[in-house]
Amino acid sequence: MTNYLISIGEILFDANPKSGVLTLGGAPSNWAIDCHRLIAHEDLQTVVISGVGNDRLGQIVQAFLSNCKNKNGLPIKGLLAHVPDKETGIVMVSYDAQGEPHYDIVRDVAWDYIDFEKALPKVKSDIEHIKAHCCAVCWGTLAQRNPVSRHFIQQFVQSIAAPTALKIYDPNIREEIDLTTKEIIHQSLQLANTVKLSHDEVDKIGKAFGYYTPVNNKPDENNGKPKDYEERSRILFEKYPNINTLIITLSTRGSYIYTRKGECSFMEAEVVKDAKPVGCGDSFLAGVVSALVCGKDLKTAHELGNKVSAYVARHESATPELPDGLVISNCSK
């Protein structure tokens, strides 16, 4: 029987004036694409749930998902809400005088209205089927900015009954946390059993919720690693008893994975010259999750996340084709 890794949220195009091209992206979608390419197992399939407009970009999204094949020749399954009066999502990229990119995520687009209430019976049946056979689902904060998508995402995750399913919340917080975003984060943390945070997000969430003061992320004199995040993980485990695994990424300094059982894995990041950071966090998470759903242990999953992230960092694309050496072929699920 097929089990599903599901992403729910934004799928969009980056409009980059430097390259003059539109690049498909969106954090949950990037994660799904990487998972799909990492797993070569006939009983595991990746699903992207999002929204598109009845426009040319929406057609491109559908064609991409259909043509994105893994090593077994299996395409990504796209369950896309078609929103006729909204455009497919786009991000306008601009650059300041120092050459730093800035992103204007266009509002009121199709993925703000992920809703299948009026969908055909076959689509509704597909949604119930993948929900019943979900082994991992990943979502973020951005796609919950509109109440329509927020309601669908939270109801979908809440109704996944399988006790072994990984419910993965990756906030991807880019700005300071306002009251609405704070509520969305709190609701999502209550639904998740696996959470991935960057070191910046650890500080932002801690500040917004009054959990703790920012971490001094300087190397420990004893072992050269960034200072330990164990206390931060303990507080989140205490506040949210549903969370079993906390992943903390420290950019070029490495990453931690903590579990409620008391496991702690730290790994230094691979050194990549002229690294391209876009998509690295998504690919790291994809590597960890893909290994875990394939029955690998925590250390092996952490190692794969590190390797995939380093590989992506060497490429302009956030979702490059992945080499055979990274693909999981001996999945025990």
List the alpha helices (DSSP H) in the chain. Answer: 27-38, 56-67, 121-132, 147-158, 179-191, 199-209, 230-239, 280-293, 298-313
| Cα 116 → chain centroid | 22
What average pLDDT does this structure show over 247-263? 92
Query: How would you label 88-103 residue by residue, b for 16+ Cβ within 10 Å and e otherwise?
Result: bbbbebeeeeeeeeee
| DSSP secondary structure letter of residue 167 | E
Work out the pLDDT band at 18, boundaries 50, 70, 90. low
167-212 pLDDT tens trace:
999 999 978 899 999 999 999 999 999 999 998 899 899 889 988 6
Give all domains of the chain, ordered by start, each with its CATH number: 3-326 (3.40.1190.20)
Q: For tokens 């990504």, name the residue.
A: 76
**Strand-by-strand arrangement of the 89-95 sheet:** 21-25, 12-16, 89-95, 101-105
Q: Is the pTM of this model over 0.85?
A: yes
Phi, psi angle pair for 97, to nearest 5°: -65, -25
Work out the pLDDT band at 221, boundaries 50, 70, 90. very low
What average pLDDT does this structure show over 138-144? 97
| DSSP secondary structure letter of residue 86 | S
